[in-house]
């Protein structure tokens, strides 16, 4: 995906590579959610190490489940590539990119759900600790999933108010994360 973005969408690559997901015009609620998400994200890799390797806090998950979680990564990364190819405005912060004439994207995965990136992120949030065999890591996954659900709600409100055509899009694509559910 990096190779594709280097050739065809360097603006998106620059946006996605920002280490700290903060922007001067970013809403306070988004800064708070992203700070918690960043901290928990570090823990998502540290906790399984303590759980499974160093202190053996819990019984490791079955090998078949760990392998399945590893295998789910590939289709998720392919889907993420499709999302990035479809939406050049995909930012780490909730904002309307006026500098790049932000347009509403309604095609590809955005015809299925309004926030397909979060859908894949949630799947990966659970796949990581499962692949590492950690039951305790799953607690962080639940917390991070809840953060993304809250962020989805607030992001929808922002886009509804600020992005041209978004109210009509919400009537066309009614589901935020999971088609048929929410």
CATH number at residue 106: 1.20.120.1630
pTM for the model stands at 0.90
Q: Which residue has 């932000």 as its token pair?
A: 102
Burial class (CB in 10 A: 0-12, 13-18, 19+), 149: middle
Q: What is the mean pLDDT of residues 162-176?
A: 97
* 8 A C-beta contact, residue 128 and residue 66: no
In 3D space, the residue among 69, 89, 66 whose CA is nearest the CA of residue 155 turns out to be: 89
Burial 17-48 (b: 16+ CB within 10 A, else e): eeeebebeebbeebeebbeebeebeebbeebb
Count of domains forming the chain = 1
Angle at 84 between CA 114 and CA 29, to 5 degrees: 55
The residue-averaged pLDDT of 65-78 equals 96
pLDDT value at residue 46? 95
Judge whether 6 lies within some domain.
Answer: no
In a domain, residue 4? The reply is no
Q: Is residue 16 part of a domain?
A: no
Q: Is residue 49 part of a domain?
A: yes
Q: Residue 13 — pLDDT band, cuts 50, 70, 90?
A: confident
Contact 92, 18 (CB under 8 A): yes
Whether the CB-CB separation of 13 and 92 falls below 8 Å is answered with no
Whose structure tokens read 């048929």? Answer: 180
Residue 89 is part of which domain span? 28-172
pLDDT greater than 90 at residue 21: no
Q: Domain for residue 113, yes or no?
A: yes
Buried residues in 94-104 as b, exposed as e (16+ CB within 10 A): bbbbeeeebee
């Amino acid at each position: 995906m990096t190779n594709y973005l280097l050739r065809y969408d360097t603006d998106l690559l620059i946006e996605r590579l920002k280490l700290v997901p903060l922007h001067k015009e970013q809403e306070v609620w988004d800064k708070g959610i992203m700070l918690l998400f960043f901290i928990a994200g570090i823990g998502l890799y540290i906790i399984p190490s303590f759980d499974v390797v160093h202190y053996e806090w819990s019984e490791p998950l079955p090998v078949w489940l760990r392998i399945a979680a590893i295998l789910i990564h590939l289709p998720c990364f392919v889907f993420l590539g499709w999302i990035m190819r479809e939406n050049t405005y995909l930012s780490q912060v909730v904002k309307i990119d006026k500098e790049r004439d932000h347009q509403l994207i309604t095609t590809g995965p955005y015809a299925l759900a309004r926030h397909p990136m979060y859908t894949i992120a949630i799947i990966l949030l659970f796949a990581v600790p499962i692949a590492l065999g950690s039951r305790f890591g799953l607690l962080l996954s639940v917390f991070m999933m809840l953060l993304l659900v809250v962020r989805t709600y607030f992001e929808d409100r922002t886009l509804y108010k600020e992005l041209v055509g978004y109210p009509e899009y919400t009537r066309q694509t009614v589901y935020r994360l999971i088609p048929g559910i929410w």
